[in-house]
Chains A and B, each alone.
Chain A
Amino acid sequence: MRSAPLPTAEQMPIASTDSEQEIMLQFENASLFYGAFRAVKDLNLPIKARSITAIIGPSGCGKSTLLRSINRMNDRVSGFRVAGRLMFDGENIYDTSIDSVELRRRIGMVFQKPNPFPQSIYSNVAFGPQLYERMPKKQLDDLVEASLRAAALWDDVKDKLHQSALGLSGGQQQRLCIARAIATQPEMLLMDEPCSALDPISTLKIEELMLELKRNYTIVIVTHNMQQASRASDTAVMMTMDDDRSGYVVEVSATEQLFTNPQNPITEAYVTGRFG
C-alpha cells in the first residue's frame, strides 16, 4: 500500500511482533465528575497498545466522557474533575504537572462530525507539526504526504493539496481529520463515533483504515454501531448506565468473545439488540 518515500525510522513507531501486548493506558479506580454529578464511575480499564479497543453501550452512559477524558478534552467543561488516576507512560495524566497541550500531541482525536479547518488540505495536515517544529519545506511535504497516505487519502487529493478542505466529501473530510491527527505522530488515536455522520461506503473505508493504522497506533473508538465494533476491534468494552445515572463498565473482553459469548446478562441483552 505504501509506495512513496516514508519518513525515517525515528519518526514512525516500530511495529512490535510480540504477541504479548503492553498496556498503553490504564484507568485506576477512576471516576469522572461534572461538578457534583458523577458521569462515570469505578473505571479500572486497561487499554492495550497497538490494538483497537471499542467502547460500546447505549446513549448517555458516558462513553464519550470516558474517551474525552483520555486526552483531557473535558478540561474545557467547567466543573469537570477526575477522581482516581489515569496512567499513561508511567504518569498520571491528571497530575497538575502534566502539560495537556503536549499530551494532546501524543494522543490524537478524531471527532464525530468531520471538522477540518476552513483552510487548504495541506495546511490542515501540516497544522499539528507546524505548531512546534520549523521544518524545511521538503520534510514537511513528506510528512504531509505520509500522513495522507496513511489515511488512505493521498490519491484522492494529491493534485489539489492547496484547495479548500471543505470541498471534500464527508468521508474524505473525516479521513483528512485522521491524517491531521496522525501528522503529529501520536501514540494513541481516539475516535469518537467517527463514522456516524458518514455513508456506509465511507464507513467501510475508514474501518479498513483503522485496521491498517492499528499496526502503528493504539486506537480507542467509541461506537454505536455494533457491527462496526465486532468487525473492526480487538477488545470490546461494554458500558451502561446505572440507576444513579452514572456510567460504568459492565464487561471487557476480546471482541469476538464479548459478542458471541458475553458473560454479563446486560452485555448479552445489548448485543442481541434487546435494549440500547
Chain B
Amino acid sequence: MSADARDDIAARRTRAALRNPTARRRAHLVNLLATIVMSAAALLLVVVLFAVIFILLRAGLPAISWTFLTTGGTFFEEGGGIAPQIFVSLYMLVLSLLITTPLGVGAAIYLAEYAKPSRLTSAIRFSTEALSSVPSVVFGVFGAVVFLSYFQFGFSILSGALTLTLLNLPLMVRISEDAIRSVPASYREASLALGGTQWETIRKAVLPSAVPGIVTAMVLTGGRIIGETAPLILTTGTTISPNAQYSLNPLATGETLAVHIWVLKIVGVPGLTDANSVANGAAAVLLIMVLLLNIGAALFTSRLERRLRGTSGAPRASRRKKE
C-alpha cells in the first residue's frame, strides 16, 4: 500500500472518529428514553384494563348467586335480584335486532349489489356516516320526541328498540356490506351465467356466504344494545311495573340491566339497603355479558377470517353450485 493511500485511510479514520460521539450517545439515550415512555404508555393501558376487570369482578361476583339472577328486585329490603332487568335487556336485544337486521342487511345489499355511483348513493353513504357519528343521547331525544310523544308509544320497550335501531343501523349496514362485498365475484358470475336474476343470485349465491359476516354484525350490534343506557333512559324508562315484570308486551315500560345500574347508583332506589351490593353484582353481570359477546364475536371473526383466507380467490370446486 502506498504512503498516499495510508494517509488517506488515516484521514478517513480521523474523520470517522470525529463524528461527534457525544451527540451520538445523546441520540441513543433519547431513543432509549422514548422507548421506555412508549412502553410505559402501552403498559398503562393493559394494566388499567386488567385492574378494571378485576375490581368489577371482585366487587360484584360475591353478590351474584342463582337467586340474584332469577328473582326480582325489592324495594325496602335486602336480597333482591336483577332477573327482571336481565329479562328486559334480553327482550330489548331480540326486539331491536329483529328490526335492525333486516333493515341493515337490506340496505347493505342495496349498496353492495345494486347501487350505482350517483348523487343518491353518495347521499346514502353520507347519511350512514352522519348517523354513525351522532351521540347516543341525541338519538334518545329523537326517540322521545318521535316514538314516545308523536307516535304515542310512551315509555316502552318498543320506543327503545326503535331508537336503538336508528343508532345501530350504520354499524349493521357497514359490516354487512363488507361481508357481502367480500363474497368472491366468481360466485356471482357462476350464478348469473346460469341464468339467474340478480335477486336470485343474491339470495342463493351471495347471501349464504355472507351470513357469517352478518352474524358477526348482529353479535356486535347486540353488544351495543346491551350496553346502551342514555337513549333508553329517555325512551324506555327506568322502572318496571311490578305487575308486568316479565311481560312480553312491547308497550310496557322497562328497565334494562344497564339502566338499572345507573338508577341504583345515581337516582337511588328509596329504602333499598343493599343497593351498592346489587349494583356491584349488576355491573359484574353486565360486564360478563358484554365480554362474552365481544370475545365471541372476535373468535367468530377470526374463524371466519381463516375460512375466507383459505378460500380466497377461486372457490373450491365442491362449492360451485351444481345445476
The answer to whether A and B touch directly, with their CB atoms under 8 angstroms apart, is yes
Please report A residues at the B interface, Cβ cutoff 8 Å: 10, 13-14, 16-18, 20-22, 89, 99, 101-102, 105-106, 131-134, 185, 187
Task: Give chain A residues whose Cβ lies under 8 Å from the Cβ of B1.
Answer: 20, 22
Q: Which residues of B contact A14 (CB under 8 A)?
A: 7-8, 11
Complex contacts, B13 vs chain A, CB 8 Å:
89
Closest to A12 in B: B15
Task: Decide: B19 and A102 in contact? CB cutoff 8 A.
Answer: yes
Contact with A along B18-38 (1 / 0, CB 8 A): 011001100110000000000
B2 contacts chain A at the CB level, 8 A cutoff? yes
CB distance from B285 to the nearest CB of A (A): 43
Indicate which residue in A16, A105, A132, A185 contacts B5 across the interface (CB closer than 8 Å).
Answer: A16
* A21, B9: Cα distance in complex, Å: 11
Tell me which residues from 41 to 75 in chain B have a Cβ below 8 Å from any Cβ of chain A.
none
Closest chain B residue, CB of each to CB of A23: B1
* Chain B residue at minimum C-beta to C-beta distance from A50: B8
Bound together, the chains give a CA A10 to CA B14 distance in angstroms of 9
- B positions within 8 Å CB-CB of A: 1-2, 4-5, 7-9, 11-13, 15-16, 19-20, 23-24, 27-28
Instruction: State A128–B4 Cα separation when bound (angstroms).
Output: 30
In the bound complex, residues from chain B placing their C-beta under 8 Å from that of A21 are: 5
Contact of A133 with B20 in the complex, beta carbons under 8 Å: yes
How many residue pairs link A and B with beta carbons under 8 A? The number is: 47
Give the CA-CA distance A105 to B7 in the complex, in Å: 22
B2: which A residues are within 8 A, CB to CB? Answer: 18, 20
Measured between C-beta atoms, what is the minimum distance from B72 to chain A in Å? 58
CA distance A17 to B8 in the complex (A): 10
- 24 CB < 8 A contacts A-B: A10-B15, A13-B12, A13-B15, A14-B7, A14-B8, A16-B4, A16-B5, A17-B4, A18-B2, A18-B4, A18-B5, A22-B8, A89-B12, A89-B13, A89-B16, A102-B19, A102-B24, A105-B19, A131-B27, A132-B19, A132-B20, A132-B27, A133-B20, A133-B23
Cα separation A102 to B16 with both chains bound (whole Å): 9
- Nearest residue (CB) in A for B6 is A22
Shortest Cβ distance from B1 into A: residue: A22
Cβ distance A90 to chain B, nearest Cβ, rounded Å: 9
Q: Are A22 and B5 in contact (CB under 8 A)?
A: yes
Report how far A20 CA is from B2 CA in the complex, Å. Answer: 8
A19 CB, min distance to chain B CBs, angstroms:
9
Q: Is the beta-carbon distance between B4 and A101 smaller than 8 angstroms?
A: no
Q: In the complex, A10→B27 CA distance in Å?
A: 24
Which A residues are CB-close (under 8 A) to B5? 16, 18, 20-22
- Kindly list chain A residues whose C-beta atoms are within 8 Å of the C-beta of B7: 14
User: Are A101 and B24 interface neighbours, CB within 8 A?
Assistant: yes
